[in-house]
Amino acid sequence: MSKVERPIKIIKTFAKDFNDKTYGFTEKEPIRPVTKELLSRLKNEVRYVSEHFRDSFRKWPGVPAVAKVTLHDKALAKSHRPTSLLGDKTCPVIGSCNFGELLVSVTEEGLSRLESKIQNSTKTKNGTLHIAVIDKIEPFICDRIAEEGAKTYILRLFDHRNRKKNKSLEESLRLMMAELNIPEPNKYMIGSDIFYFEVPENKNLFELSSFIGVRKLQPMPSFKLDNSEVTISKTAAEKKVLLPIPDVDTHYPLVGIIDSGIDPNNRDISPWVWGRRSFLNGRKADYTHGNMVASLIIDSKGLNSNYEGFPDTHAEVVDIAAFPADTELSLPELANIITTAVEDFPEVKIWNLSLGQKEACHSDNFSELGHLLSCLHDEHGCLFVVASGNYESLPQRTWPPQELSDCDRISAPGDSVRALTVGSVAHVDCADSIVKANQPSSFSRRGPGPSCIPKPEVTHFGGNCRANLDFSDLGIFAIGDNGHLSESVGTSLSTPLISSIAASTWHELQLNSNISPSPERVKALIIHSAMLERTDQIDPKEINYHGFGIPKDNISDMLSCKKNEITFLFEVDTLEGEEFGRYPFVIPNSLKNDEGKFTGEILMTLVYSPPLDPNYPSEYCRSNVDVSFGTYDFDKTKKRKHISKVPQIKDKSELYEKYLIENGFKWSPIKVYRKKYPQGTQGNTWRLKIDVQRRAEQDKLEFPQRAVLLITLRSLSADKDIYSEAVSELDLLGWESDDIIVSNEERIQIR
């Protein structure tokens, strides 16, 4: 790694930075009038739910059913939860569907008590507040399977948060299956919190959807590699050696590849293969896809004629041969392979997954495989770098994009909250290419992920094509079948570029940094680097296509600052009820104009790993870390008041929960904010504030929620020496800090 002249500054935090949070609660008023008509309608709806499930309650005594409670669209925030009505004594909340749709566990007794509570709700202020937020109560009905004829199906039961009830539910399901002559299903766990059944096709299968405990019954998900055509380059015969030979004395970064396998006889790639494991079990192999992914991780820049922007990185690889030729893998098959690979190779901390489902993911539900990746991330401390997927239908998406009815949304497991999901942009264009250079590739699946999670987080070069999908002279070059230099396109090819960057970042932190690597730190550095590379303001609508941009192609540059900027890295552990506050914050004088106003740019990237609960798809992330950078000056009452400058909320009408989720990254585990002040903004004392809150029904956080924050202060003039000024002011303020890189000589590392 080349010398880092102006390294990112790691800022140490102390107990004095934390204080009890002050809540500005005011007395609430009902969000709408509670009329006799509303009470009567809700009581009738409760009676209908009871009547709907009456036969089921008699057939399966002791087994609860599930009802759906829809909340008023202005009552989605945690503070509006109707806890006085929906609880253990009536119908407890056990999950959610879409935004504002709660799932409650219901029994005949509980429904009767709920009806009574509704009748008497207006006798108390709390009851009146809570009855006002409920729009509708109805039975939950499992969606009928849209696609029939699959060989196997996935079936998931509700989790009623009660061991006895869950046991009765599963026993009743097995009895019903026996009555219908459906063979005993296979049962699989995902992490420690959810399980699913693999049910074989059967003529009576669809009758299971009427069972009161079934939450999901759909064809078993299957996954494939990108099957884009591959063209052998015209110059392939001229290039005898396609990859450099690894230096025996160099300790390289390491990436695991779960793919088609790498040709063991390929003389270019084999010296870079650190380990292998095959799951093909004698089935026919086609190494083309695996070869291309591996060679791009090893040396994408060299394979693409040193084209500007390709990563200047090299890495060794672990080859996991998972996909036989022209074969898809079912969820249980692929989940087993990924889990085994991660357990067998604990040295690998970056895993490349250039694979996915053919279909778009659901907007209101996270995939089982995506959840598995998050579980493995937490258990093994590794980062999955996943392709956003390829939209293969015609006509292809243009730029600006036409309406495609969400068919071009990302595919699973690109919806994994913990994964780093990668889209594709074109690096070249021609007169008849669909998009121009640096625009999102026409085939690159877009975000957002379920529950408005920002996906993909980053993009890289994955090629371009014409309207007929011809990509000659517009694609990415890599080593294909039989060792030839080949050309192709797809997010399968942009993903290994980010994997190589992620592994190199992890490697650099491991060998030369004052902080050890972690998935959250590496993700934050990559995303922040991508944002710093953008010169324009982020268009919220374009994040779904571009992510936050393309990270820097050199790791030294990623971990350092330009002369006209300073980047601080904070890592903060926060408990609910307290807030982190650092003030006065470093503001170099060169970022102030003659009137003392801040004139410059503020960029922030926040990454954290919240608790997850797949029973709450619309509330999957169970904690929310908020960050705010702003002024902390005295108001008219001589008290300090924090006024947020980044992010900024325009007016009170934008404070509704749904708006904040869709437009303000609320509950998102990645938050990115950027604001320029060319005319200046007033403020004497500046402050950084971080706090955390948990969801309704979420147990108190057992441990503090850790968050990684990168914040950059940048001058709008390239010639100002902001970095030196900021470092001097750090010392004046007594901040304790470290350089992110402390040595340019690699420590001895043995894998």
Per-residue pLDDT tens digits for 186-211? 999 998 889 999 999 999 998 999 99
3-state class of 284 per DSSP?
A: coil
Model confidence band, residue 1 (pLDDT cutoffs 50, 70, 90): very low
367 neighbors 415 (Cβ within 8 angstroms)? yes
Query: Mean of the pLDDT values across residues 603-625?
Result: 97
Cα gap 503→296, rounded to integer Å: 13
Tokens representing residue 56 in the block: 């089921």
Which pLDDT belongs to residue 145? 62
Cα gap 554→635, rounded to integer Å: 46
398 neighbors 433 (Cβ within 8 angstroms)? no
**pLDDT of 743 strictly over 50:** yes
Which pLDDT belongs to residue 458? 99
Which pLDDT belongs to residue 167? 96
More confident residue, 746 or 473: 473
Residue type, 606: L
Provide the residue count of the chain: 751
515 neighbors 443 (Cβ within 8 angstroms)? no
Could you tell me which of 401, 422, 402 has the C-alpha nearest to residue 411?
Answer: 422
Backbone angles phi, psi at 449, to 5 degrees: -80, -175
Q: 68-98, pLDDT tens digit by residue? A: 999 998 888 888 999 999 999 999 999 999 9
Q: 150-180, pLDDT tens digit by residue? A: 899 999 999 999 999 999 999 999 999 999 9
**pLDDT of 25 strictly over 50:** yes
Residue type, 441: S
Partners of 582 in the β-ladder: 688
Query: Mean of the pLDDT values across residues 621-631?
Result: 97
Could you tell me which of 462, 505, 522 has the C-alpha nearest to residue 487?
Answer: 462
Cα gap 291→557, rounded to integer Å: 29
pTM above 0.85, yes or no: yes
Which residues make Cβ contacts (< 8 Å) with residue 320, sequence separation at least 6? 256, 257, 258, 259, 261, 276, 277, 278, 279, 337, 341
Which pLDDT belongs to residue 233? 66
Q: 327-362, pLDDT tens digit by residue? A: 999 999 999 999 999 999 999 999 999 999 999 998
Which pLDDT belongs to residue 143? 75
Could you tell me which of 637, 610, 604 has the C-alpha nearest to residue 622?
Answer: 610
Per the prediction, the chain carries an average pLDDT of: 93
Query: Mean of the pLDDT values across residues 286-315?
Result: 98
3-state class of 301 per DSSP?
A: helix
622 to 78, 382, 617, 692, 700: CA distances (angstroms): 11, 21, 10, 11, 10
- Work out the number of other CB atoms within 10 angstroms of the CB of residue 12: 11
Model confidence band, residue 475 (pLDDT cutoffs 50, 70, 90): very high
Which pLDDT belongs to residue 709? 99
Range 93-96 contact pairs with CB under 8 angstroms and sequence separation of 24 or more: 93/69, 93/696, 93/697, 94/66, 94/158, 94/159, 94/160, 94/161, 94/615, 95/158, 95/159, 95/613, 95/615, 95/616, 95/617, 96/615, 96/616, 96/617, 96/618, 96/619
Q: 210-242, pLDDT tens digit by residue? A: 999 999 999 999 999 976 677 776 554 455 668
**Range of weakest confidence among 93-97, 232-236, 497-501, 678-682:** 232-236
Query: Mean of the pLDDT values across residues 401-419?
Result: 95
Q: Which domains does the chain have, with CATH numbers?
A: 36-139 (3.30.70), 152-223 (3.30.70.1510), 240-424+441-467+478-504 (3.40.50.200), 561-739 (no CATH)
Cα gap 414→388, rounded to integer Å: 5
74 to 32, 125, 137, 655: CA distances (angstroms): 10, 19, 17, 10
**pLDDT of 24 strictly over 70:** no
Query: Mean of the pLDDT values across residues 710-736?
Result: 97
Active-site residue among 121, 226, 233, 259? 259
Angle between helices 491-512 and 519-533 (to 10 degrees): 120
Cα gap 566→6, rounded to integer Å: 8
Tokens representing residue 694 in the block: 């948990």
223 neighbors 312 (Cβ within 8 angstroms)? no
More confident residue, 448 or 653: 448
Query: Is 289 designated active site?
Result: yes
Query: Mean of the pLDDT values across residues 88-116?
Result: 97
Angle between helices 108-120 and 36-52 (to 10 degrees): 180
Could you tell me which of 603, 600, 585 has the C-alpha nearest to residue 673?
Answer: 603
213 neighbors 157 (Cβ within 8 angstroms)? yes
Query: Is 259 designated active site?
Result: yes
Which pLDDT belongs to residue 751? 59
Which pLDDT belongs to residue 651? 52
Which pLDDT belongs to residue 3? 63
- H or E segment and range at residue 293: helix 288-303
Which pLDDT belongs to residue 77? 86
Partners of 581 in the β-ladder: 689
Model confidence band, residue 658 (pLDDT cutoffs 50, 70, 90): confident
Q: In what order do the strands lie in the sheet with 134-139?
A: 93-96, 101-106, 65-71, 134-139
- Work out the number of other CB atoms within 10 angstroms of the CB of residue 258: 26
Active-site residue among 492, 494, 609, 668? 492
Cα gap 517→569, rounded to integer Å: 13
Q: 433-442, pLDDT tens digit by residue? A: 999 999 999 9
Which pLDDT belongs to residue 701? 84
674 to 253, 388, 548, 713: CA distances (angstroms): 32, 24, 11, 10
CA angle at 407 for the pair 402 and 411, rounded to the nearest 5°:
125
**pLDDT of 539 strictly over 90:** no
Model confidence band, residue 136 (pLDDT cutoffs 50, 70, 90): very high
Residues of the chain with pLDDT > 70: what percent? 95
Query: Is 105 designated active site?
Result: no
- H or E segment and range at residue 425: strand 420-425
Burial of 614 (0-12, 13-18, 19+ CB in 10 A): buried
Cα gap 606→277, rounded to integer Å: 36
Cα gap 153→728, rounded to integer Å: 63
Active-site residue among 80, 130, 289, 371? 289
Partners of 155 in the β-ladder: 197, 217
Residues of the chain with pLDDT > 90: what percent? 85
